[in-house]
Structure 1
Amino acid sequence: MTSLIPSSSGLEDLPPGAEPGAVPAPASTRRTGWRAMLPSWTPKLAVGLGLVVAIALFGLIGPVLAGDPDTIRNISLTAPSGDHWLGTTQTGQDVLDQLTHATRGSLQIGLLVGVMATVLSAVFGVIGGYVGGIVDEAFSLFSNVMLVIPGLPLVIVISGFVPADQRGSWTIALVLAVTGWAASARVLRAQTLSVRNRDYVAAARVAGEKPWRVICVEIVPNLLPVLASQFVFAVIAAILSEAGLSFLGLGASNSSTLGTMLYFAQNGFALQREAWWWFVPPGLIIAVFGCGLALINLSLDEIINPRLRRPVRKRAARAASGSSRNSAVRSTAA
């Protein structure tokens, strides 16, 4: 008599998690391991990385090849020429030399603020969300207080109280980091509250793992996309805030940044003198670098939330189904 129990030989070849009767995908189209977690390479991400890398290389290599930005080349304001590709300032300093050093200074401040703000948000958000209790309540209260205080006025007040001769890059970076971590901490706390109730975190607790190991090994790796997105956003906000402070005369006094270039261009009446080569290049660098980081941030948002990519996939699937339907109609008509 023929057995009614299906043979397991046909199930042995199915990949884990596949349903019986499902056709397995070809080996060439399947991605396993960490490759399955990588997003598709989008033009948005490629353009953003290209802009950021180009400006970063300009800020890193440019000062090595350029001359001293404080050297007086001539005694007047001159337009771009073969000798000075971006012209000179009112005091005869080469704008291109100043632009290379100013780009490096702005990138340094942006990187410092991004690292410090991300660390502060991780400490107050992840540790508070995992430990809970009075620690979480205290961290949440402090985060809410920092969140409701207007950021820009607080930065202006703090920078105004610091003496001008002590306002260096580290001071400005510290002020911007202290006033810009609270919103990210709230997001990380919400994500940590969701992750800490999952089975693998409970298994680590039952196994006797120490809290710091559970946080570093089980929770933080699952929050890396969120941390990366917050780091990129912190760098954007830091560069824009520093440019605004320097334009108001409250920036770093002993370092050159893109904001200080705009400040001296405004004081030298560059706009009234139609000296566009003095204020357009630093403003363009800020805008292009911010655009590149924004594109990267949007790509990271798509990695964090795959639903943002669903409309594109639905349109592609709808177009594919429509083309197959049309081909079927044409074959039937033939």
Structure 2
Amino acid sequence: MATEDTPRGDDESSPFQARAEYEATTADVYQQMIESWMIAPMRVLWDDYRGRIGIIIVTIYVLMGTVGTLFIEVPSFNQGPALVGPFESLAYPLGTTSYGQDLLGLMVHSTPAMFKMMIAGAIFGNAMGVVVGLISGYMGGNTDKILMTITDTMMSIPGLPLLLILAALIEPTNPWLIGIILNIQGWTGLARAIRSQVLPLRKKEYVEASKTMGQPTSSVLTKDVLPEMLPFITMGFMNGATGVIHASVGLYFLGILPFTNQNWGVVLNDAYRGSGALYNIDAAHWLLVPIVTITGMTFGLTLLAQAFDQVFNPRVRARHQARKRNKEDDDPRDGDDDGGVDSIANQLGD
């Protein structure tokens, strides 16, 4: 028992002075972050057959747009014989156009510009939707009314006429700018969805606690509210990228966007106008190759979007964490420790 002369801090321990026997280093913190935000989601994705197929498909397209452009020759006129069928020649595995261009080269060298448009459009749409949805749902009042009025007005404007007007006025040639223009309305649906989720979320106990502790609004939104919106943000990104693919191909096919950048829609336009591929069986592959390429990219993104539902499902994440712990518990190097624990448990049971 401590006397009055005994210093409290030296001989008497306090629960408020308890310290863990192990102190996490900076490397441990980063390792935990990588495990939680990268490795664990990838495990969940890979275990889902839709995520596995989607990852493989998207990876093939990424390799096409990066490594493929280094090894496959840039297509040019009179590069080979006209209208060579697919798989008839090793030099032109997907065939050629009536201009003698290699269709495989056209698909590969069109992919980088397509990815730039997809990334720019998806990021722009997500950023606008997240900012407007978070602020509108969290602030409420007149701020909510003003932002939702702007959102509904943008949503009510017919999409195709708006794109036609913007394309005619701006005449964009930069793929990054084209992607933003093509997804100029893509943020409205996401903003509405996020607002509807933030409205009940702002009344949660941990959000109220953060506000009571004097946390700034930006901190509450980014740390307490935004993590709950990750499923909507991911789905919005995938949907935005898919929408940019369809819009760009359609506008290039119609000849509305300038033909300065090679695009899968440009190939479709050339096939339709250059040789009447809809009616000429010899040129059918000229039309089918870009259609299959577009369908494959869309299919891969759709599968990834569906698989991400599992990534943000807390039950699935918990099941994967349980499997990891079971594997660690079954490690033979820990056999002695487990045996000791089991023997103590048996003694307590007796």
Q: Give the TM-score taking structure 2 as reference length.
A: 0.72
The answer as to 2:90 corresponding to 1:77 is no
- Residues 268-277 or 94-103, more deviating: 268-277
The one of 121, 128, 136 aligned to 2:136: 128
Aligned equivalents of 1:85 and 1:236: distance in 2?
27
Residue 242 (1) aligns with residue 248 (2): yes
For 2:308, the equivalent position in structure 1 comes to 300
User: Structure 1 residue 167: deviation in Å?
Assistant: 3.6
2:277 maps to 270
Alpha-carbon distance in 1 for matches of 2:246, 2:165: 17
2:202 corresponds to: 196
- Cα distance, 1:39 vs structure 2: 4.9
Q: Which has the larger displacement, 52-61 or 176-185?
A: 52-61
User: Do residues 180 (structure 1) and 223 (structure 2) align?
Assistant: no
Which residues in structure 2 correspond to 1:25-44 (within 5 Å)?
39=44, 41-44=47-50
1:283 matched to which residue of 2? 291
Distance change in 2, residues 1:47/1:74 (3 Å): closer
Deviates further, 124-133 or 150-159: 150-159
- Residue 306 and residue 267 in structure 1: after superposition, are their counterparts in 2 closer, same or farther (change >3 A)? farther
Query: Within 2, Cα distance between the matches of 1:97 and 1:39?
Result: 35
Contact 1:110–1:235 at 8 Å: present in 2 too?
yes
For the pair 1:170 / 2:154, whether they are aligned, the reply is no
Root mean square deviation, CA, Å? 2.6
Post-superposition offset of 1:104: 2.1
Q: Is the 8 A contact 2:83 2:97 kept in 1?
A: yes
The alpha carbon displacement at 1:120 in A equals 0.7
Mapping of 1:243-258 within 5 angstroms? 243-258=249-264
Instruction: Please name the residue that 1:218 is paired with.
Output: 224
Letter in 2 for 1:133: G
* Deviation, structure 1 residue 152: 2.5
CA distances 1:39-62 after superposition (whole Å, capped 9, x unpaired): 582212211222122222222221
1:94 — aligned with what?
A: 102
Q: Given that residues 120 and 177 in structure 2 are in contact (C-alpha distance below 8 angstroms), is that contact kept between their aligned partners in structure 1? A: no
More helix by share: 2
Aligned to 2:161: 153
Aligned-residue sequence identity (percent) comes to: 29
Tell whether the 8 Å contact from 1:78 to 1:89 is kept in structure 2 after alignment: yes
Aligned to 1:330: none
Structure 1 residues 68 and 142: alpha-carbon distance in aligned structure 2, compared to 1, 3 A threshold? same
Conserved in 2, the CA contact under 8 Å of 1:226 and 1:304? Answer: no
Encode CA deviations 1:51-85: one digit per residue, 9 max, x unaligned.
12222222222111111223531463333412222
Q: CA deviation at 1:182?
A: 0.4
2: CA distance between counterparts of 1:150 and 1:304?
33
Correspondence for 1:314: none
1:122-176 C-alpha deviation (Å, 9 max, x unpaired):
111112211222221111001111112222232223223334xx44313321212
Greater shift, 152-161 or 138-147, is seen at 152-161
Distance in 2, Cα, partners of 1:176 & 1:212: 30
What SS does the aligned partner of 2:196 have? helix
| Distance in 2 between residues matched to 1:250 and 1:61, nearest whole Å | 30
Number of matched residues? 275
Q: Which runs of 5+ in 2 are unaligned?
A: 1-35, 317-350
Counterpart Cα distance in 1 of 2:249 and 2:214: 49
Conserved 8 A contact 1:59-1:101: yes
Q: Which amino acid aligns with 1:147?
A: M
1:113 is aligned to 121
Give the 3 Å change call, closer, same or farther, for CA 98–226 of structure 1 in structure 2.
Answer: same
Query: Is the 2:117–2:180 Cα contact (8 Å) retained in structure 1?
Result: no
- CA–CA distance in structure 1, aligned partners of residues 293 and 81 of structure 2: 27
